């Protein structure tokens, strides 16, 4: 109750929020499953048009940033403030790299006239239209979550610098980290489902 801060409780609250995020994406994965069943050959054709290398690079970027966020929590717990700040800045930088990659990827697709309601997709095969429709919706929503995650990490960064996040009180950083890992989790599924379907 009023005796100190209940860190476990705060974490439970955050996890509950993460569940709702999982199911938010879950709704889209339901659509993916149903349409993949309906148009398997077009999904593999569409998958080949996506740039596997950029996808793999982005996966690595997110994995590394997940690692640095987790390490920054360890750093805070060990009272290594400078390390924590460095690790967090690096994580946010990874987020930027991810988004820049995404920007070039989307840009290339737009250049090839592949975007929602574009001439190529509307007059082409319907299966491809659905594949790229889902691609844009899911990666778009994921990109939005990357941005939110970066904002949360930046807030934590400021709080670490200001000495508000310490080894005895780091719930904010921990929750921002959990959110960032969730973004990573979703990408781990998005990557094979879109880039590697054969």
Partner 1 sequence: MDSQKNNHILSYTTLALVLGLLLVLTGVTVGVSYIDLGFFNVPVALAIACTKVTFVLLFFMHLRYEGPIINFSFIGTISFLLIMIGFIFFDVAFR
Partner 2 sequence: MIKTESFYDTPAPAGLTGIKAWLLTHDHKRLALMYMWAILFWFVIAMMFGLLLRTELMSQGRTIMGPEVYNSLFTLHGVIMIFLFVIPAIPAIFGNFFLPIQLGTDDVFFPRLNLFSWYLFMFGGVFALISLFTGEGFPDTGWTFYVPFSVEANSNVSVTVMAAFILGMSSMLTGLNFITTFHRMRDKNMGLMQIPLFTWSLYATAWVQILATPVISITLVLVVVERLFSIGLFEPDKGGDPILYQHLFWMYSHPAVYIMILPGMGVISEIIPVFSRKSIFGYKAIVWSSMGIAVAGSLVWAHHMYTSGMSDVSVFVFSLLTFLVAIPSAVKVFSWIATMHKGSIEMTPPLLLALIFIYLFSVGGLTGLVLGAVGTDIHVHDTHFVVSHFHFVMFGGTGFAFFAALHFWWPKMFGIMYEFKNAYIGAVLTAIGFLFHYVPMFILGLQGMPRRYYDYLPKYETGNFLAGFGGYLLCLGILIMFGNLFMSFKRRIPAPSDPWGATTLEWTVPSPPPVHNFVKKPQIKEFPYDFSEVGKREKNGEKSRKIL
Query: Where on the chain is the footprint of partner 2 (CB under 8 A)?
Result: 1-2, 6, 8-9, 12-13, 16-17, 19-28, 30-31, 34-35, 38-39, 116-117, 122, 125-127, 129-130, 133-134, 136-137, 141
- The tokens describing 95, both together, are 């987020």
From partner 1, partner 2, none, which one binds at residue 116 (CB under 5 to 8 Å depending on kind)?
A: partner 2
164 binds partner 1 (CB under 8 A): no
Minimal distance in Å, beta carbon 181 to partner 2? Answer: 18
Q: Which stretch binds partner 1 (CB under 8 A): 2-10, 106-114, 119-127, 155-163?
A: 2-10
For helices 40-49 and 126-161, the axis angle rounded to 10 degrees is 50
Among candidates 166, 180, 150, which has minimal Cα distance to 84?
166
8 A C-beta contact, residue 18 and residue 178: yes
From partner 2, partner 1, none, which one binds at residue 164 (CB under 5 to 8 Å depending on kind)?
A: none
112 binds partner 1 (CB under 8 A): no
- The tokens describing 172, both together, are 């904010």
- Alpha-carbon distance of 167 to 105, in angstroms, equals 40
From partner 2, partner 1, none, which one binds at residue 161 (CB under 5 to 8 Å depending on kind)?
A: none
Residue 112 host element (H or E): none
Question: Please, how many CA atoms are within 13 Å of residue 101, restricted to the half-sphere of its CB?
Answer: 22
Classify residue 57 by burial, with Cβ atoms within 10 Å: 0-12, 13-18, 19+: middle
Residues that bind partner 1 (CB under 8 A): 6-8, 11-12, 15-16, 19, 22-23, 26-27, 29-30, 33-34, 36-38, 52, 56, 59-60, 63-64, 66-67, 69-71, 73-74, 77-78, 177-178, 181, 184-185, 188-189, 191-193, 195-198
């Amino acid at each position: 109750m009023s005796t100190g801060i209940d860190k476990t409780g705060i974490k439970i609250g955050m996890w509950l929020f993460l569940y709702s995020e999982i199911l938010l994406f879950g709704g889209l994965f339901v659509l993916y499953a149903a349409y993949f069943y309906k148009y398997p050959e077009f999904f593999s054709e569409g998958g080949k048009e996506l740039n596997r290398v950029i996808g793999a690079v982005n996966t690595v970027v997110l994995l590394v940033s997940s690692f640095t966020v987790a390490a920054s929590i360890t750093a805070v717990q060990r009272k290594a403030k400078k390390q924590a700040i460095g690790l967090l800045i690096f994580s946010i930088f990874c987020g930027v790299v991810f988004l820049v990659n995404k920007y070039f990827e989307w840009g290339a697709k737009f250049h090839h006239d592949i975007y929602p309601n574009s001439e190529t997709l509307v007059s082409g095969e319907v299966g491809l239209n659905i594949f790229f429709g889902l691609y844009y919706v899911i990666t778009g929503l994921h990109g939005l979550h990357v941005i939110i995650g970066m904002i949360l990490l930046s807030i934590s960064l400021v709080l670490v610098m200001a000495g508000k996040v310490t080894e005895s009180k780091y719930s904010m950083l921990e929750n921002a980290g959990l959110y960032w890992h969730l973004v990573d989790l979703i990408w781990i599924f998005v990557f094979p489902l879109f880039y590697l379907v054969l």
